[in-house]
Structure 1
Amino acid sequence: MFHILNFVWFVAFVFIIGVKGSASLAVSNSSEEYGYYNIYNKIDSMQKAFQTLETNVQRKNNMLRQILQPITKMDDNIEMSDQSSQVTKTVQPLQKNDTAVGFTTKLSGSYSSTSSNIRGRENSILYNGGNGYNGTVFTCPSSGLYLFHVSLLSSTTSGGIWIYKNTQQLTLAYSGGDPQNNGASVSAVVWLDVGDQVYLRPYRSLSLDGNSAFTGVKVN
């Protein structure tokens, strides 16, 4: 009888130990699975956090690009302006010794013959670029298109001045009338080759006031 009771107690003890071991193993397995679960959750959370961070960075980059775009354009405009200024600085202005072909002189004298050339007043050549005007006749030093203008003041009745090219009459400044002082002016645009001559002759007998003037200039 005693041996039977001992056997029963042994079986019961083994059973209890087995149950506790199973329970302990179950708890251990559950804890291990729970640990793995936590790690996966953390990895998912980190991935979501990185995605959120990446999205925020992209959004901020877009905002920064929008902010910087006008500034970049301003810099480009400033750079272009600086380049334009540098280009402008390289354009050298005309110096005093860079003469443009042309002249202006005051006229004087009294003329009785229509074949007489009208002279410039002595020491009254205001400009003579290219040295084409000799005080009476302009001799073309450079081929091109020229503009000539004459203005007269005269007390002569029905006075006038012709502009000539070589032997050709171009235009006439005619004062007409018979007050004491008459005025008139005329212009002519003409193509000249090197050596062509332009000068003035009276329409008829003529006496000029010293403020009469003759101008010629190369325009092209």
Structure 2
Amino acid sequence: MGSTINMAPFVTCLMFTVVCLLIGGSYGEHSLDRRANVVKRADNDTYYNIYTKINTLEKYVINLETKLQTRTKLLRQVLKSVLEMDSNLGLPNKYLKKENIPALKKNAVGFTTKLPSTTYSSTSSIIRGSPILYNGGNAYNGTVFTCPSPGLYLFDVSLLSITKNNGIWIYKNSQQLTLAWAGGDPQKNGASVSAAVWLDVGDQVYLRPHRSSLYIDGNSAFTGVKIN
């Protein structure tokens, strides 16, 4: 009986120790599992963050490439326009080569003539020109310019006169275009006027007095030229 009583505390102590070991082992396992999960989660977060940054960087690079392509295309268009402009600006040099000048002179249409000192007594008179200083295309015969080719033409008349309140009309066929009017002091009268007009082949342009008794000084002039 005595030995049984002495064994009881030892058995109790042994059982307590086993229970503690079991509890501790279970806690340890849970603790290890928890730490493993934390490490795994941390690894996953790190992987996710790196992937996100790489993905963002790739999108940025793609966006940058798109912008670069757009700017390159724009620069090419600008360069093309500049080259075309430069080419167009270079055209006169091509056509003004020495060997091409005779053809240019032959095809040029225009004239300049002085108006001789004369007094015109009728508004139906056509004002004469003499001497003719230039007559490209031979379209001006000393009184009338007859259009040799369709296009836009510019005409100008400069009047010097001692007649007061009178002037010169530029006519197209039977139509009055513009009037060079001289008024004021009869000792110092001067006037000029221009007219841009489209002409077809055969249309005629000439000058007439606005009123009768128009005196024209010999330094007056009449000019016409095809501009397009």
Query: Shorter-chain TM-score: which interval?
Result: 0.5 to 0.7
Tell me how far apart the structure 1 counterparts of residues 222 and 142 of structure 2 sit (CA, whole Å). Answer: 10
The corresponding residue for 2:124 is 115
1:98 aligns with 2:94: no
Please state how far the C-alpha of 1:97 moved relative to its aligned partner: 5.0
Amino acid at match of 1:115: S
The corresponding residue for 2:39 is none
SS of the equivalent of 2:197 reads strand
1:213 aligns with 2:221: yes
Matches within 5 A, 1:15-54: none
Q: TM-score, normalised by structure 2?
A: 0.55
Tell me how far apart the structure 1 counterparts of residues 144 and 180 of structure 2 sit (CA, whole Å). Answer: 18
CA contact (8 A) 1:119 1:136 kept: yes
The corresponding residue for 1:183 is 190
Aligned residue pairs total 134
The corresponding residue for 1:42 is none
SS of the equivalent of 1:163 reads strand
Please state how far the C-alpha of 1:98 moved relative to its aligned partner: 2.6
1:146 aligns with 2:149: no
1:194 aligns with 2:197: no
SS of the equivalent of 1:91 reads helix
Structure 1 residues without counterparts, runs of 5 or longer: 1-79
Tell me how far apart the structure 2 counterparts of residues 164 and 177 of structure 1 sit (CA, whole Å). Answer: 24
1:131 aligns with 2:138: yes
Superimposed CA distance per residue, residues 131-183 of structure 1 (whole angstroms, 9 cap, x where no aligned partner): 10000100000100000000000011112000000000000000111331300
Query: Which aligned segments of 4 or more residues in structure 1 are displaced greater than 3 angstroms?
Result: 87-90
User: Root-mean-square deviation (CA), in Å?
Assistant: 2.1
Tell me how far apart the structure 1 counterparts of residues 92 and 177 of structure 2 sit (CA, whole Å). Answer: 43
From the superposition, tell whether residues 88 and 157 of structure 1 become closer, same or farther in structure 2 (CA, over 3 Å): closer
From the superposition, tell whether residues 88 and 200 of structure 1 become closer, same or farther in structure 2 (CA, over 3 Å): closer
Tell me how far apart the structure 2 counterparts of residues 89 and 127 of structure 1 sit (CA, whole Å). Answer: 22
> Which structure carries more helix by proportion?
2
SS of the equivalent of 1:120 reads coil
Please state how far the C-alpha of 1:201 moved relative to its aligned partner: 0.1
1:159 aligns with 2:162: no
Please state how far the C-alpha of 1:89 moved relative to its aligned partner: 11
Amino acid at match of 1:119: R
Superimposed CA distance per residue, residues 73-97 of structure 1 (whole angstroms, 9 cap, x where no aligned partner): xxxxxxx9xxx8xx87982424145
Structure 2 residues without counterparts, runs of 5 or longer: 1-82
CA contact (8 A) 2:161 2:186 kept: no
From the superposition, tell whether residues 95 and 181 of structure 1 become closer, same or farther in structure 2 (CA, over 3 Å): same
Tell me how far apart the structure 2 counterparts of residues 190 and 197 of structure 1 sit (CA, whole Å). Answer: 11
From the superposition, tell whether residues 89 and 153 of structure 1 become closer, same or farther in structure 2 (CA, over 3 Å): closer
CA contact (8 A) 1:156 1:181 kept: no
